[in-house]
Amino acid sequence: MAAIRRETGIPVAADESVRSLADAHEVVARGAADYINIKIMKTGVAEAVEIASYTKAAGLKLMVGGMIETRVAMGCSFSLVLGLGGFDVLDLDTPLLLVNDPVSGGYRYDGPHLQPWSEPGLDMQTTSTSHITTIE
């Protein structure tokens, strides 16, 4: 990753290679990325906050993404973005791969933009838990 970044000038995002704060330290020490992609499903929320704080302090850019979760998990990730700030890239579109959304309320998609909610918690209610199908 460091060689690609150095030799091409193309911005590089460390994604699956950062599953812990120690991984983020390694990426920074090697000059291997311009961005670190935070995913709460690979790190957990507490570690994600630590990685995001370290990434910003190290001068790298932040991205947030998902791993094919429903809007409940994406709402948690969006909460992280809203609470911490400093995220340059939001890739929270994996719920759009679901044929049926099992929740209503919460944040919403407005074209390429995410609109936050205003009620307590994630402001989501279960609509159906009987069947979740992804688009192939």
How is residue 15 written in tokens? 């994604």
Q: By three-state DSSP, how is residue 102 classified?
A: coil
Q: Which residues contact 116 (CB under 8 A, 6 or more apart)?
A: 78, 82, 107
Give the distance, in angstroms, between the CA of residue 20 and the centroid of all CA atoms in the same chain. Answer: 14
CA distance 82 to 90: 11
Distance from C-alpha of 87 to C-alpha of 52, rounded to nearest angstrom: 9
User: Within 10 A of 65 (CB to CB), how many other CB atoms are there?
Assistant: 20
Quote the pLDDT of residue 112.
Answer: 87
pTM for the model stands at: 0.86
What is the reported pLDDT for 86? 96
Per-residue pLDDT of the chain (136 residues; tens, 9 = 90+): 999 999 999 999 999 999 999 999 999 999 999 999 999 999 999 999 999 999 999 999 999 999 888 899 999 999 999 999 999 999 999 888 888 888 899 999 998 889 999 999 999 998 765 555 555 5
Beta strands at 87-90 and 61-64: parallel, antiparallel or unpaired: parallel
**Domains of the chain with bracketed CATH:** 2-95 (3.20.20.120)
What pLDDT, on a 0 to 100 scale, did the predictor assign at position 129?
56
Please tell me the distance from the alpha carbon of residue 40 to that of residue 44, in angstroms, as a whole number. Answer: 5
Per-residue confidence (pLDDT) for residue 100, from 0 to 100: 84
Q: What is the pLDDT of residue 50?
A: 98
